[in-house]
A and B are shown apart, each in its own frame.
Chain A
């Protein structure tokens, strides 16, 4: 982006809340059921049915609001957004219009210029619509099929202020948002299953201009990377239009992943009139202070706080703290280890290294890992006690990770105990010295580095079990005494 223009981005993120049942009926929210198996007269919008609000939805919305530094409105209500579409059973969506549950929050993101606050204008609750499958592509199809399983799954829509200035900030915002929501457990934020969806509003304006430029709305971005790329494309597209003296048309554009570009979705742009009005079937909400306090006290430590605490409390580098607090589960795992083994940096190294590598290789969630934090700290203790070498530790670690066995048991079963018996080691050292006279000569003539080769040979003889420190010392003694 040239310095001539400034980019203005606002994001609207829809997040599915992780409740068991739908927002206004008792149907399951489980993903992946056969079409229309999770529907009932209420979520099918059959005439005469009435909505009854799931309390957990409100709890979760408040929780999200608090985690995103919002005010929780004591008065809020549900409104109907009226429009016709086959995936919307009642032909209105129950949403919140002028009195949303949360307002005026922010998220802090890290940018190259430091920490930046991105405002959150509002968070409101609403019901999801169903799913349409087109027989063929959408523009060629002769018919479409409707599955209402998703209808009535609770959503919160989180609307950012137009504070985002670059596509990479947009991505950072989304990453941070997702991390927070996952931390507090209100959503799994799984983009593939549609539990997190993002639309973007983007405009550009000449630097120094106060008024916003004409914006376009971008849809159909299926990953954070796609959001970033769609924004990059769109900013560039708008810049070209302006530089060629053209005009931006206010419109909705869809991101085409395969073509790597945004495409206009509608030819004629009519301002929609959704005719919002309060739903008389749903009495309003009165969220009192006690309720907010109750939820506040149930909130876990949030990622940024945790990261800062890790740096402070465990004297970890920023980078380590960032990696370890990436998910609440990982941070908890780390802290459980540190409880039993106080060298936090050592624990951090193992977790950031082998632990995360194996997790990825085995494609596991932390909850699925068999190795307990006690096992990891136990292994570290065995190292300190000289029972195993750091090299052997790698083997023990992999074995613990895969089998869930205790480190002591693995050492025992596999005979991995370190050889620290001086007599036994002396014997092996002598054998190695004898077999490598030229190396010995090198060492004697001052090539100290060559000693490593002899150590290596001893380790090879002992299949890694020799205590490397002792081996080193014995070799020196023996060569000197030759």
Chain B
């Protein structure tokens, strides 16, 4: 059962600000979806391993080689805010 307070907690984890009415609406919808997917619990999956990767590859590596990095100008072209070659963000502390 997903309720509004659950949605608010989840939204916090997902860093999405929700209005009261949005939280209310999503709670109803997501609870409906959850009830729908709940039916997989009936499937007998004993002795089955979870599929973590859709292809059976392992040990995929590259060699320890340095290649040129991106030009810093390009690194910063999309920056919403930059200063001294760095990305500028609002202060970390304080609510």
A and B touch in the complex (CB under 8 A): yes
The contact of A27 among B66, B84, B91, by CB within 8 Å, is: B66
A19 near B64 (CB under 8 angstroms)?
yes
Contact of A40 with B59 in the complex, beta carbons under 8 Å: no
Complex Cα distance, B54 from A145, in Å, reads 39
Which of A115-123, A133-141, A173-181, A343-351 lies at the binding interface? Answer: A133-141
> Within 8 Å of chain B (Cβ to Cβ): is A69?
no
Q: Nearest residue in A to B62 (C-beta to C-beta)?
A: A52
- Asked if A142 contacts B91 (CB within 8 A), the reply is yes
Is A20 touching B69 in the complex (CB atoms < 8 A)?
no
Confirm or deny: B63 has a beta carbon within 8 angstroms of a beta carbon on chain A.
yes
Nearest-neighbor residue (CB-CB) of A17 within chain B: B64
What per-residue 1/0 map shows which CB atoms of A53-94 lie under 8 Å from chain B? 111111000000000000000000100000010100001000
Does chain B have a CB within 8 A of A132? yes
Whether A20 lies near B65 (C-beta < 8 A) is: yes
Q: Which residues of the other chain, A, contact B53 by a CB distance below 8 angstroms?
A: 278, 280, 283-284
Mark A10-41 against chain B: 1 for CB-CB distance below 8 A, else 0. Answer: 00000000011100001110000011111111
Cα distance, A280 to B54, chains bound together (Å):
8
Q: 0/1 per residue, B4-44, Cβ < 8 Å to A?
A: 00000000010100000000000000000000000000000
| Interface size, B (range) | 20 to 34
Indicate if A190 sits at the interface (CB-CB under 8 A): no
A273 within 8 A of B: yes
* Cβ B52 vs Cβ A58 within 8 A: no
Residues of A within 8 A of B1 (CB): none
Residues of the A chain whose Cβ atoms lie less than 8 Å from the Cβ of B85: 34-37, 147
Q: In the complex, are the beta carbons of B52 and A284 less than 8 A apart?
A: yes
Taking a contact as CB atoms under 8 Å apart, the answer to whether B84 and A35 are in contact is yes
Interface-centre pick from B13, B62, B85 (highest chain A CB count, 10 A) = B62
Which range contains the number of A residues in contact with the other chain?
Answer: 35 or more
Q: State the Cβ distance, B89 to closest chain A Cβ, in Å.
A: 5
> Which A-chain residue is minimally distant from B76 (CB atoms)?
A36
Task: Say yes or no: A39 contacts B13, CB within 8 Å.
Answer: no
- Does the CB pair A284–B64 fall under 8 Å? no
Shortest C-beta distance, B29 to chain A (Å), equals: 21
Q: Measured between C-beta atoms, what is the minimum distance from A41 to chain B in Å?
A: 7
- If A27-B69, A283-B60 touch, whether A139 touches B93 (CB-CB below 8 Å) is yes
Q: Contact string, B66-95, partner A, CB cutoff 8 A, digits 1/0?
A: 110110100110000001111111111110
Q: Given A28-B69, A86-B87, A284-B52, output 9 extra A-B contacts at Cβ < 8 Å.
A: A35-B85, A37-B85, A44-B70, A56-B63, A132-B92, A145-B87, A146-B89, A147-B86, A284-B53
Q: List 5 A-B contacts (CB under 8 A).
A: A21-B66, A28-B66, A55-B61, A285-B58, A285-B59
